[in-house]
């Protein structure tokens, strides 16, 4: 395969017939039950990472409206989240 021509012009759509299987790929078969388990694990890990980001990073950043973080604003008396003018917004 002429990779130099591909690198010059960016991404290309290639027919599958041009692709060769890697000799270093250890997987030969994929068990459907194992794929489902892997998908569940990926989702759980993603949810855990998102929750960690939300609770440990996002809520501690200073807000764009002031110097207080969202967590600090929430803990102050009188904090009300921004609400739409009506339920259709």
What residues contact residue 60 under an 8 Å CB cut-off, 6+ apart?
Answer: 69, 70, 71
> Between vectors from CA 8 to CA 2 and to CA 10, what angle results, nearest 5°?
100
Domain-embedded: residue 51 = yes
Domain-embedded: residue 39 = yes
> Of 15, 13, 19, 16, which Cα lies nearest the Cα of 1?
19
Domain-embedded: residue 25 = no
Are the beta carbons of 13 and 6 closer than 8 angstroms? Answer: no
The 10s digit of each residue's pLDDT in 15-25 is 888 888 777 77
The 10s digit of each residue's pLDDT in 29-47 is 778 888 788 788 788 888 8
Domain-embedded: residue 8 = no
pTM of the predicted model as reported, rounded to 2 decimal places:
0.41
Domain count across the chain: 1
Where in the sequence is the domain holding 49, given as residue range(s)?
30-80
Domain-embedded: residue 85 = no
């Amino acid at each position: 395969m002429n990779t130099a021509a591909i690198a010059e012009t960016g991404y290309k759509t290639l027919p599958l017939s041009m692709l060769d299987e890697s000799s270093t790929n250890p997987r030969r078969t994929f068990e459907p039950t194992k794929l489902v388990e892997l998908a569940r694990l990926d989702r759980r890990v993603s949810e855990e990472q998102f929750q960690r980001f939300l609770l440990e990073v996002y809520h501690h950043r200073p807000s764009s409206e002031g110097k207080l973080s969202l967590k600090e604003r929430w803990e102050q008396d009188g904090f009300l989240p921004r609400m739409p003018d009506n339920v259709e917004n």
